[in-house]
Structure 1
Amino acid sequence: MKRKFLQKIGVAMISGVMVVSALAGCGNNTAKESTTAAQSSGESTSAQAQGESKTDGPDYSGVKLVYWSNWEATEPQGIVIAEAVKAYEKETGVEIEVEFKGRKGIKEGLIPALDAKQQVDFFDGQGNKSNYGDRIISLEDLVKASDYESRSNPTMMKLFRSYNEGVLKEIPYQFKANAYFYNKKLFKEAGIEKVPTNWDEFLAACQKLKDAGITPITTDDAYVPQAFGMHLGRLVGSEGLKETINNNEWDRPEVLQTANDLAELASKGYFSELVASNVFPTGQNTEFATGKVAMYAVGTYVVNEVKNITGPDFEWGFFAYPEVNNGINGSEAMMIGGQSFAITSVCKNKEAAFGFIEKMTRGEYDEKLAKESISLPADSQNHSWPEQLADVKPYFDNCTEIMGGAESNPEITPALKENLIKLYSGKITGTEFVENMKKAAGK
């Protein structure tokens, strides 16, 4: 059921109501939840309904937009969006009805709603909306007219154009980057003065940590493929990684090298002894976030997910996946991505919808979103990145090649996870890993 989103959200909610963002997993179906206590009173959110005068800016008086969000109303992202809606309504006279659907609500309900010609003017959610086809429109003209790209990360814009055959149909925001997060305090205790940039340095860092009585690496079943994908991507490149996974090319020599390199980490005791049984978020929450393990290969969203465990004194560090022997790329090739906005083909006021998207991804609200959800800003002119992610910025800014993940072939992912867990826990060798994957793929 549609509900109007109210403006009765105070600034106190920003600091008083914070729920961990679950970028890595599925959210709840929040279509049944009220967005705010004020919403249940049935009051209007528009500036006109509250008797407020419109400030300078485009005049969208009389225009009503319906916006579906994949966030919860009580998540940091939802709270900032609510504040931005209020400001945009006041500036333009537009009325925006927000429906916080959650991850599940967007995934299961949006396409049926659009096919039924239900009014949903724009929405946000996980990047790569190629499955929406002509249900979403090209944003090229709107982007050009507003000079939007002058403050955009060019690599990200290239990535999001690639999702729709070179046509920009999504505006990326709340960026993420994947590589190794590490505990700077533990690195200092082990006498590690600089982050490793290549595989030999990585092995040396692991040994120093072990010698200091510190477990070097942990992972969870949800993130088991991350290090494998980045390692293999260093050897075969971004396109080679996709081809290997999607075509089940497990007999490639680079796969064996990757498996052998990771098996060496296990044989030397660099993985946590619990890695074989860690079910997400066990390794993340009880080992890495509590300071028992030094490194964790994951995305930048992890900081927000564990902030209630780590507290303010955790010393966050980040480094790109190391260069590997016989590799063909370095830190310029990374796993990066983000959420995105799209405007639907049923939207009759696309300029008004794009105006709000621009407000959310530029200036004040882009910076506020990054701060409150501890994420990467979309506006290249926003230089005040969250302190916990400061180490990410130079790598992200210098990224020119985007590597995909190792989970692009869902049919083989379960077997990949199962055998990587065995590899990381020392139960199988690199050669056995390759043979097991070939069998799983029917080869």
Structure 2
Amino acid sequence: MKKKSVMLTFLMVFALSAILAACGGNNGNNTANSGNSGNSGTTNSTEQNSGGDGGEASGNELSGKVTFLTNRTDMIGKEYDEYVKRFNEKYPNIKIEFEASQTDYNQQAKVRMASGELPDLMFIPDIPNSDLPKYFAPLDDLQLSSGLTFKDFKSYDGKLYGITTGNSTSGIVYNKKAFADAGITEIPKTWDEFLAACEKLKQNGVIPLSSNFKDKWPLGSWVYDLPRVIENNKDFPNEIINTETPFTMDNGYGKAMSLIKELADKGYLEKDINSTNWEQSKKDIANGKMAMYFLGNWVINQVIGVGAESDNIGFFPLPFDNSGDSRAAFNPDFFYAVNKDSKNLEATKAFLTWMLEDSGYEDFAGFISPLEGRESKLSQLAEFQATGVELQEGMPDDPKVIEIRNKAQIDLPAIAQEFVLAKDPQAVLDKWNKAWAKAKQELGY
């Protein structure tokens, strides 16, 4: 992607996402090049009848029951209830039920797929795009007010099967008062400046960066986004198909993991990185006991939601080296999908359309809208963009890379955990290079 002007607006960035090449994906999200990974218009007015639960009507008279398997357990009984109330003002005869994923969403979704017991609406787990038609209904007939971002990420054979719930960019979410109290007057623009800021925070009795190391999934930005940003190559995670040694100290993976290891070695992460607590960390960022996250913009509203003043939470690009270059990843999050065997197919599509157009979920979740041209209401994103950062759009994962990675049992956040704790990080890379090469050979690649 060509380097953008510092005056480039997010609106222009969103429009560009429609030209992504077709093909092949917080906590465990389906992001670009991830291998994993929390947004008023027209409704679906197709005249086909819905079935199941005795519901049979057309247009705005659709009826039936729609089940939605979600990872947002925090919204059940709260925001989701409000969504249903508003949705039923348009569709009074459609009942919405939420199923909570209490464990690893990706794994739970795969178990449900294997058993043939899918909900009506869900998020797409980490499967090849060639498998999408086996489980999900095409969504090309949804009547939306504008084009979709990252439309080609979950398409196959010219048909659309998945729609992003929202988009995000990774950066440093920080407590402004904690910075000010530590004497940090300017946003770090180089890695050395970032380390200096961390030292000031540490000396002031504040934990510089919350990694949630033990939980593993919060390390995703370090291993899915940062390597390709360091390489300045949006397709870097796919190009490893051409090598037997994808993990080296001097490429994006080694450099990214070395950065978080340096933070750990200098005592800039949690005092005990093996006993972190995700929910508590949000409160600690909000009250200034911890100063920073390296996560997507989706976490900003969660920090505000546990007590932070919005004006006290900022967002800037992570300076990954001393060049002064400013780049950050731009990715989709989970992708909605509709069960092709749903007994209430049109009712489910109506609810999905409403979620995209009218729910306001992207604003609640701190996402960039999945619909092209909608500007974010998150003020922190304006602060982020004002730094002149170049947003690097992700590429869909190459199916061959997914296949090799799965066969080799490569879990990038888990590898980062090993790397950070290892006395000999090179040995960790050697171990997983060997696993990659073996799987690649056995698969004939």
TM-score (structure 1 length as normaliser): 0.65
Are residues 1:385 and 2:390 paired? no
Distance 1:202 1:323 in 2: 9
Segments of 5+ residues of structure 1 without an aligned counterpart are 1-22, 27-53
What is aligned with 1:346?
341
Change (3 A) 1:261 1:356: closer
- Give the CA deviation at 1:84: 3.7
Matched-pair contact (CA < 8 Å) for 1:127–1:338? no
What is aligned with 1:68?
68
Change (3 A) 1:279 1:265: closer
Matched-pair contact (CA < 8 Å) for 1:230–1:403? no
Distance 1:232 1:109 in 2: 31
What is aligned with 1:86?
88
What is aligned with 1:239?
235
- Give the CA deviation at 1:346: 3.0
Q: Which has the higher contact order (CA 8 A, sep 6+)?
A: 2
Change (3 A) 1:377 1:335: closer
Distance 1:360 1:434 in 2: 46
What is aligned with 2:187?
195
Distance 1:229 1:182 in 2: 21
- Give the CA deviation at 1:240: 2.0
Greater shift in the superposed pair: 432-441 or 299-308: 299-308
1:336-375 aligned within 5 A? 336-346=331-341, 353-362=348-357, 364-366=358-360, 369-375=361-367
**Considering only CA atoms, is the larger Rg found in Structure 1 or Structure 2?**
1
Are residues 1:253 and 2:247 paired? no
What is aligned with 1:295?
292
Change (3 A) 1:217 1:252: closer
Greater shift in the superposed pair: 231-240 or 304-313: 304-313
Partner SS, residue 101 of structure 1: strand
- Give the CA deviation at 1:75: 4.6
Partner SS, residue 291 of structure 2: strand
What is aligned with 2:109?
107
Deviations 1:408-427 (A, max 9, x none): 7462337514324426xxxx
- Give the CA deviation at 1:159: 3.6
From 120, 123, 142, the counterpart of 2:121? 123
- Give the CA deviation at 1:123: 0.5
- Give the CA deviation at 1:211: 5.4
Change (3 A) 1:178 1:400: closer
Partner SS, residue 333 of structure 2: strand
Deviations 1:417-438 (A, max 9, x none): 4324426xxxx3xxx2122231
What is aligned with 2:6?
none
TM-score (structure 2 length as normaliser): 0.64
Matched-pair contact (CA < 8 Å) for 1:377–1:385? no
Computed over aligned residues only, the root mean square deviation of the Cα atoms, in angstroms, reads 4.3
Segments of 5+ residues of structure 2 without an aligned counterpart are 1-25, 30-56, 436-445
Letter in 2 for 1:185: K
Letter in 1 for 2:135: R
Change (3 A) 1:353 1:132: same
Matched-pair contact (CA < 8 Å) for 2:62–2:91? no
Distance 1:438 1:318 in 2: 35
